[in-house]
Homo-oligomer: A and B are copies of this chain.
């Protein structure tokens, strides 16, 4: 295990996160945290689900720039990705912004992957970078499983792709003009290593991602020498109920008890009983809107001080699954802190 934890050479701030979500997410327990939602049908006024997703992402980026008083020329780089083939929500949705563009494909881990790279770019340039990601239930279902109109039955382990987009502002300056509260930094980063333990069920993403999350979490605690209890939260992206129990159980078998601090964005975003969301939320948008809309404001307000965000991704491909392949997972970790010091 030679791969070190990366620390920015100068303070790098997670300044703001703008969120736009669908009506199911706005109805959920975190509904009040999100900046904007489509009150009607999640089309965002567009004729196709793919265009709807791009429009949702565009609105998130536009909102972020507007409320921070920034123009495209003030941002050094835009790192973006989504779940659609050829990442079209990002490629098309972010066309209006004349900012140097880096397309990412990290499946549901894209927010964490993009935040790592945005932090490195803010560190390198001394300026600002935006990480913007999205997912949409209807575009994802039709691409990865069945069109929503088909009305297929869902298995108990299946997760619900979050309709949501977030745009994060990462900067080498505090940029605190607009928002009061504590300064929040990206203090550490540990990128994930892909792993494949043979899970081939496209309706059980949590199980496919849990081993990758375990690998990253074990490496982090081993390299840092810290203990889980020194954090307010170890927040995984979208393991859901299946993947979350697997992660905690496997970590325990390795002598690491994370059960006291572990939370999962996929288990926070919906009221699963009330809205029949099976194993919980998933998708690029899941960890992104929970981190941007809920965690960051909680940290600014002083209710959370030190959080590990582990963005989990299942590199699922319908074609690969049809060809009999199992599903690789990856998990990128960032430590977000409002504490002084390292």
Contacts and interface: CB of A to CB of B under 8 A. Distances in A.
Contact of A191 (B94, B102, B120, B320): B102
Interface string A314-329: 0111111001010010
Contact of A103 (B76, B86, B105, B323): B105
Contacts of A50: 319-320, 323
Contact of A124 (B6, B76, B103, B196): B6
A107 to B, nearest CB: 7
A106 interface: yes
Contacts of A87: 105, 315
Given A194-B91, A330-B101, A85 B319 contact: yes
A51 B124 contact: no
Contacts of A117: 102, 117
A164 to B, nearest CB: 20
Residue of A76, A87, A94 most packed against chain B (CB within 10 A):
A87
B105 A81 contact: yes
B102 A319 contact: no
B315 A91 contact: yes
Interface in A66-114: 73-74, 76-77, 81, 84-88, 91-92, 94-95, 98-107, 113
A218 interface: no
A3 interface: yes
Given A74-B2, A117-B117, A320-B92, A86 B100 contact: no
Contacts of A88: 315, 317, 319-320
Nearest to A195: B95
A121 interface: yes
A113 B117 CA distance: 12
A125 interface: yes
Nearest to A82: B105
A103 to B, nearest CB: 4
Given A124-B120, A325-B92, A328-B92, A85 B317 contact: yes
Nearest to A91: B315
A75 to B, nearest CB: 9
A105 B241 CA distance: 30
Nearest to A315: B91
Interface in A43-81: 48, 50-51, 73-74, 76-77, 81
A192 interface: yes
Contact of A100 (B3, B76, B317): B3
Contact of A101 (B84, B125, B191): B191
A148 interface: no
B124 A94 contact: no
A311 to B, nearest CB: 12
A123 interface: yes
Nearest to A9: B124
A193 interface: yes
- 10 shortest A-B CB distances, which residue pairs? A100-B191, A86-B317, A2-B73, A91-B315, A103-B105, A105-B105, A85-B85, A88-B317, A87-B105, A101-B194
